[in-house]
Structure 1
Amino acid sequence: MFFIAIQVDRKQNTLPVLVVLSVLAAAGWALSPAVSGNVGLSMAVLSIAMFGLMSSLPVFWNLPTAAYNGTAAAAVIAIVTSLGNVPGFFSPYIVSWIRETTQSMAAAMYLFSATAALATVLLLIYARVLKSAPEPTQVGIRSSLFTLFIRVLPSPRPRSALALNLSTDV
């Protein structure tokens, strides 16, 4: 994990490394039910899955800090952190339900694999959006998936118009 973070910092190749790490995690989770009878192989593929997952954590935080500056970076980091905590709450319940329903952990491992594969697809889409994005604006906010969603929302009225409406309502 430490050496991957150093390599990414030196080479500035965050997205390709994240894609490879999420593919490793997806492969490890997907292979784990197939080798569940062999303790050594099970440990190996689960170690690969956890290597991909845990090594991606410090590398991932390069994305919001590279794409946003100042308060925008703080807002994006807060949103990512808040949304990132949701699976931690629901995952034990989902895994428990899957295990009780199927009497096996295989489906839960496939769910983890599918989630890592979805992360890979989202990273590839993000890389494609960054390639087609214009250069950073004067405030330093780079166009990304988050700002593309924000652009769809209607812009708020200027403060003076809001103050004008408030004064006429009274």
Structure 2
Amino acid sequence: MSQDLPPLAIVAAEAAPRTRRSNYPEPFFSRMAGREKRPLGDLFGLGNFGVNLTRLSPGGETALLHRHSRQDEFVYILQGEAVLVTDRGEAVLTPGMCAGFPAGGVAHQLLNRSEADVVYLEIGDRTPGDEVSYPEDDIQAVFGEGGKWDFTRKDGTPY
């Protein structure tokens, strides 16, 4: 067998964590210190959507409050208690619960206000031209060429 072939199956918790905790520029990068993502979809060569096994430490947040213009997102809680914060209100998510965010829908983020880790699966597509708005922070993002996020301030100036 070729070394270039993806695995048939893995233990998700043993996948290597992402080397960089966040793509956000400072001052937002440091807010993601309590988050650890293990990219799972990439290990299998998935190109149309991403899957991450994510651990959120007490006090951690998954992302800034945000909404995608073209990307759908989905989360499924495996362990712990997360608070789903949206621009429509809050909900507590416990193991076995899930939430979905269609493109252009509610702004959302998960927070860990508990004393224990939260572990969840996050799934999102990789639609070209996706833009992300952040209602509470001076930042915006565009999913650019080569699958990289380009972050600027809301007035368009770079970080």
Q: Name the TM tier (shorter chain).
A: under 0.3
Normalised by the length of structure 2, the TM-score is 0.22
More strand by share: 2
Normalised by the length of structure 1, the TM-score is 0.21
More helix by share: 1
Question: Whose relative contact order is higher, 1 or 2, with alpha carbons under 8 Å and at least 6 apart?
Answer: 1
Max Rg structure? 1
